Structure 1
């Protein structure tokens, strides 16, 4: 009888997965979360690719309800927002637990649909609270990160489509390619970019060329600087 109750309790606990490449940090995160009533860590690994591979082999009943995800990996590629988008679409909630080393990547993850972002310098109590908020479908973002994401007071307020158009165009795409990616007509994409330029001018930061737009988008954390490849 006692075994039946234990099994029932295990089944009723909310399932979590942890992706963290630093072993001690991963073990401590698992320890903290496993000690919480109603929570159970079903998988922990170093990279997002490893998690996806594991999820492809596990039954739906064993998949995590929420993923606690570190974004940056010392010995591999950073977490891919496209993969996170697919996980979110499949019903997995994602909480970013990161050192916030890349604001543009955090922005991309927010656009991908993560339920919240918590910093590694935050208290263990805050991390647990963020996990519970995510499981309940509530957003969580720390005041420190909110300030970073807001940028300075001179950062123009762009709509989602204007921001996407800016990032695509400033990344090097042609106007036609931007329109195709956004799923709009060329004239509409041009209107988005014209509005972007007008808003930057209104903020006292005039932009005229694609190079200007690239510079300001990097300054505002909308995209990361392009790092030239190292010579072999």
Structure 2
């Protein structure tokens, strides 16, 4: 038998863990994935810390290949993006199944490296397709996710270079270093930042200083507050 990329050769199925604090939603997700040939639910519970606690007791042969994860729970802490990044770095793939109540948190977990995010208003067919896409190390983008990534109407539409300049500068990098990183002249980097400030002003979000830019970049989920 040929083993799909990323799946160990000791089993002919993918191991799935589910984090969802609403029992009915969790049970339906279990049913939905269990019905797929080649998938097996190995753990299901209410919170991300409980999942991490369980994973620490598992061997590589029993750890999940994929975690289907709700970000925001009512009876416990929300997902910590740093802990999520550590889990992903260990080789576990993650598909977020979320109501997307916190766009900033969604953008932060995307930066942590999750395979994709499916909204709870998306169809069950979307959930299945996203699951298989992430297992095969692909990505999945729904219209709802695309709108979250783009931000709401109050988030300025920045070009790639403008956003890179903002992230670097708001993270504490000096103007000359920003220019060097972007491979442009310092006056060009300065123009990028001037355009960023103008676009935030047009959106009704004044950001005249470096501190202001950092505040707005954090608000839009572009940089980690701890950086």
**TM-score computed with the length of structure 2 as normaliser:** 0.76
Kindly report which structure 2 residues correspond to 1:24-39, keeping only aligned pairs within 5 A, or say none. 24-39=24-39
User: The residue matched to 1:12 in structure 2 has which SS?
Assistant: coil
The structure 2 residue matched to 1:198, chosen from 184, 194, 203, is 194
Q: Kindly indicate which of the two structures has a greater share of residues assigned to helix.
A: 1
User: The residue matched to 2:43 in structure 1 has which SS?
Assistant: strand
Which segments of 5 or more consecutive residues in structure 1 lack a partner in the other structure? 1-9, 169-177, 180-184, 226-232
Q: Distance in 2 between matches of 1:195 and 1:75?
A: 47
Q: Distance in 1 between matches of 2:34 and 2:59?
A: 21
User: The residue matched to 2:55 in structure 1 has which SS?
Assistant: helix
Aligned residue for 1:130? 130
- Report the CA distance shift for 1:167/1:135 in structure 2 as closer, same or farther (over 3 A): farther
Which segments of 5 or more consecutive residues in structure 2 lack a partner in the other structure? 1-9, 182-188
**TM-score computed with the length of structure 1 as normaliser:** 0.75
Aligned residue for 1:51? 51
Deviation of 1:207 after TM superposition, in Å, equals 2.8
Aligned length: 202
Deviation of 1:75 after TM superposition, in Å, equals 2.1
Aligned residue for 2:4? none
The structure 1 residue matched to 2:177, chosen from 165, 169, 188, is 188
- Report the CA distance shift for 1:121/1:188 in structure 2 as closer, same or farther (over 3 A): same
Q: Distance in 2 between matches of 1:117 and 1:166?
A: 28
Does structure 2 conserve the Cα–Cα contact (< 8 Å) formed by 1:166 and 1:196?
Answer: no
Write out per-residue CA displacement over residues 33-72 of structure 1, whole angstroms, 9 at most, x where no aligned residue.
0111111010011111111110111121011111100000
Return 130-139 or 196-205, whichever deviates more.
196-205
Q: Distance in 2 between matches of 1:204 and 1:42?
A: 46
User: The residue matched to 1:15 in structure 2 has which SS?
Assistant: strand
Kindly report which structure 2 residues correspond to 1:214-225, keeping only aligned pairs within 5 A, or say none. 216-217=216-217, 220=220, 222=222
Deviation of 1:113 after TM superposition, in Å, equals 0.3
